[in-house]
Structure 1
Amino acid sequence: MQTTKPPQITLGIESSCDETGIAIYHSEQGLLAHQLYSQVELHAEYGGVVPELASRDHILRVLPLIEACLEEAQLGAQKITGIAYTAGPGLMGALLTGAAVARSLAFAWQVPAVGVHHMEGHLLAPMLEQTQPSFPFICLLVSGGHTMIIRVDGIGRYRLLGDTLDDAAGEAFDKTAKMMNLGYPGGPIVSNLALQGNTDRYKFPRPMVDRPGLDMSFSGLKTFALNTWHAAQKTDAPQDLPQTQADICRAFELAVAETLTIKCKRALEQEGLNRLVVAGGVSANREIRAQLDALMAKRKGETFYPRLEFCTDNGAMIAYAGAQRLAAGQHNGLDFSCQPRWALEDLEAI
């Protein structure tokens, strides 16, 4: 006589940087609840994330958010069957905050806990949607700290095809905004200003597209934007400088989007695939989505994104990724650890 396996309910905790994300994932019903607190206002006056402040704020937020998530899902803590937490990469203090809470709750509730790779969470975030990509596919992981092109043959079966040699795309967006005193976080500001920019005024280089391979570089593009801005400050009338900033943002965004599109096209052709997953915070960028959608439409291929609220760091992606690994029997002991640097290719396949 066959017995039906009871559903698994996983609590996910994300605390790798400047957002505290909590979610509950049900193995049969999908995502039940998610809560997110962003520290953007806390770090804005410093123009970037202050690690010690980030860690302290996670301590304040994580337990109230867990309580709010349980209330949203209308569940008691006794219903949780496993806990997933971000174990890396990220800021060490921030990671340890989430990991310590997760491991302590798992001990108190007598359930298994598993550390999740932050970028695997992003990579699998489109699996939270109704229409999910099937394996294998090419994934563009594009965020503030990472820009990678990966072949994905299954969960934990990852092969890095291309990486950024210096600044990640999101980091270049933020630094470009900072150099022009546009505010923090810079990525959304640059993208919004780009909507007002003149496409024909400036032509920025497309870095590393004139050489073979899938590696990328965005540091030089950031410097090109800075030099363009300095030159404009010497020649433009003061009242014209706001439009100049918009024109620079437009040229910068177009260059990043076209560079990523060229590299993704190469990866798809190299691997003989026609499914593309785009994830990470910068995957919310309108121009990048438009160019990649046009590429895949021309190829008659498929493009998959997380919903906008799951592009940035969130607990839902950690809950989902952790649920898959817990279902495969993986879990961590009481002697948990975190890894501020952690290669995706080191993960165990399931």
Structure 2
Amino acid sequence: MPILTIESTCDETAAAVICDDGSVLGECVATQETLHEQFGGVVPEVAARAHVERILPVIDTALRKAELQGADLDAIAVADRPGLAGSLLVGVVAAKTLAVAWKKPLVAINHLHAHLYACQMASDVSVYPCIGLVVSGGHTSLYHCTSPLDLEYLGGTIDDAAGEAFDKVGAMLNLGFPGGPAVSRLAAQGDPKAHAYPRSMLKEPGYRFSFSGLKTAVRYSIAPPGVKDFSDINLSDQAKADICASFQAAVVDVLVAKSVRAVKAYEAGFLIVGGGVAANPVLRTGMQTAAEQNGFQLVIAPMNLCTDNAVMGAIALEKMRRGQFAPLDLDITAGLQRGF
């Protein structure tokens, strides 16, 4: 029997109906880009209110696409961590309510683990044991994964996440919202060697990341110290492209190097990469080149499963096979960056 999965950790409201073999019967994602564009970033209160408005229509759409009703489901699964508190609450309350109304068991999903599970869904063979990299707007984290549910946190960002740094650079260059994809598009026209930006913490042992220093270096490429309003800074299109390309190269170099370090340390045969920044074409190319040079297999989440979605909630099937169900007093665990 199929399950219903619900995702509302940040600014996408999503639901999917998934069979026990992993096939998707129906899904729906409602984005909030236009709501947050005027603020230049995601506003938690705005996001939560938008989830309240969209959660039931999104669930209804996924069920109608699957041509199923609540009685046909085997369980209700929902992401309860990590993410924005208000956003998480909307999804969890909806899931618990439906579980009671439809008399179905509840399954709790770790959003970051689900991003990595999207890689397994795209692979014809088991990717475990492996090293997993989640790289997104709120997270840059490395794991040693012995199964979809058994993950050892190796390290992550101590400040800005990679995707957050992309968005902030986009904002400084007035590229619009979301800034990350705009930076990537403009970088394709630039010279990645135009600026010698720092590869932060690359020589430090371990698996910690830091992108705030890189972001500051970019800021001083745009305007001198003391200038707070970048709207009057007139950079040519080529100058902006060179900044974007050099910034992107610095981020990719660090992500690739730390991932390869973990693969070698744990003698892993696979590296899996998930999250919104996994859609970046330069990162995908860099990771593939590293895999070929170092003799490991690379599995990156498909483009449609990089950004937040409910299909990756199929990881709930793994928990159900272990009998890991959640109580009806399930609470959220908010947070954005470290330790999950």
TM-score (ref. length: structure 1): 0.91
Question: Which residue pairs with 2:273 in the alignment?
Answer: 278
SS of the residue 2:223 aligns to? helix
SS of the residue 1:111 aligns to? coil
Question: Which residue pairs with 1:337 in the alignment?
Answer: 331
User: How many corresponding residue pairs?
Assistant: 335
Distance 2:338 2:158 in 1: 17
Question: Which residue pairs with 2:69 in the alignment?
Answer: 76
Question: Which residue pairs with 2:307 in the alignment?
Answer: 312
Does residue 1:168 correspond to 2:168, yes or no? no
The equivalences for 1:223-262 within 5 A come to 223-231=216-224, 241-262=236-257
Q: 1:164 corresponds to which letter in structure 2?
A: T
Distance 1:133 1:248 in 2: 40
Does residue 1:11 correspond to 2:18, yes or no? no
Q: 2:163 corresponds to which letter in structure 1?
A: G
Single out whichever of 325-334 and 181-190 deviates more from structure 2.
Answer: 325-334
Does residue 1:325 correspond to 2:319, yes or no? yes
**Residue 147 (structure 1) shift:** 0.4
**Residue 169 (structure 1) shift:** 0.5
Q: Flag the 1:29–1:12 CA change in 2: closer, same or farther, 3 A.
A: closer
Q: Flag the 1:61–1:122 CA change in 2: closer, same or farther, 3 A.
A: same
**Residue 141 (structure 1) shift:** 0.7
SS of the residue 2:194 aligns to? coil
5+ residue gaps, structure 1, are 1-7
Considering only aligned residues, what root-mean-square deviation do their CA atoms show, in Å? 2.0
Q: Is the 8 A contact 1:170 1:187 kept in 2?
A: yes
Distance 2:159 2:24 in 1: 36
Task: Kindly provide the CA deviation profile for residues 143-174 of structure 1, in whole angstroms up to 9, marking residues without a partner as x.
Answer: 11110111000132111222111111011111
5+ residue gaps, structure 2, are 228-232
Q: 2:254 corresponds to which letter in structure 1?
A: T
SS of the residue 1:187 aligns to? helix
Determine what percentage of the aligned residue pairs are the same residue. 38
TM-score (ref. length: structure 2): 0.93
Q: Flag the 1:66–1:132 CA change in 2: closer, same or farther, 3 A.
A: farther
Q: Is the 8 A contact 1:84 1:114 kept in 2?
A: yes
Question: Which residue pairs with 1:211 in the alignment?
Answer: 204
**Residue 239 (structure 1) shift:** 7.2
Q: Flag the 1:54–1:132 CA change in 2: closer, same or farther, 3 A.
A: farther
Q: Is the 8 A contact 2:13 2:55 kept in 1?
A: yes
Does residue 1:111 correspond to 2:104, yes or no? yes
Distance 1:258 1:219 in 2: 15
